[in-house]
Amino acid sequence: MRLVRWLGAAMLFASSQGWGQGVVAEVPMLDPWVPPAVAKAAESLPKAKRGAELKAEVERKLRADFDAAAPQGTLTRDQARAAGLGFIANHFEAMDRRGSGVVRFEDYRAFLKSRGGFLE
């Protein structure tokens, strides 16, 4: 009982003196799994792209790889394999709907969209 009275008096004294209501130092929360040096380096990285900007970047990168392998604008299965474009080589028949033996970037893009690719 004496302890309860003492605690009550201490709490009353503390509240009347303004203890616990002092200056609060705000410190940014740190991720315990990321070393501070890595977190600082990550701040300088470009922000992630979203939406239309991300779709446009994906299409630019796909087109750059395709154009590097097919300077004439069309790509055969052997050219796709030689350029390391295994996805195109493995799905060549599905992309070559005209049966011409070559695939244009538009064919590649249409195939990706038909498979659920989110391209512009």
What is the CATH architecture of 51-114? Orthogonal Bundle (1.10)
pLDDT band at 108 (very low <50, low <70, confident <90, very high): very high
Residue 104 has pLDDT above 70, yes or no: yes
103: which strand partners?
75
pLDDT of residue 52: 85
pLDDT of residue 69: 94
**What is residue 75's three-state secondary structure?**
strand
Task: Over range 76-98, report the average pLDDT.
Answer: 94
pLDDT band at 92 (very low <50, low <70, confident <90, very high): very high
Q: What is the pLDDT of residues 19-78, one digit of tens each?
A: 555 666 677 776 778 888 888 888 887 887 788 888 889 899 999 999 999 989 999 999
CA 25 to the chain's CA centroid: 34
Whether 70 and 85 have beta carbons less than 8 Å apart is answered as no
**Phi and psi for 30 in degrees, rounded to 5?**
-105, 145
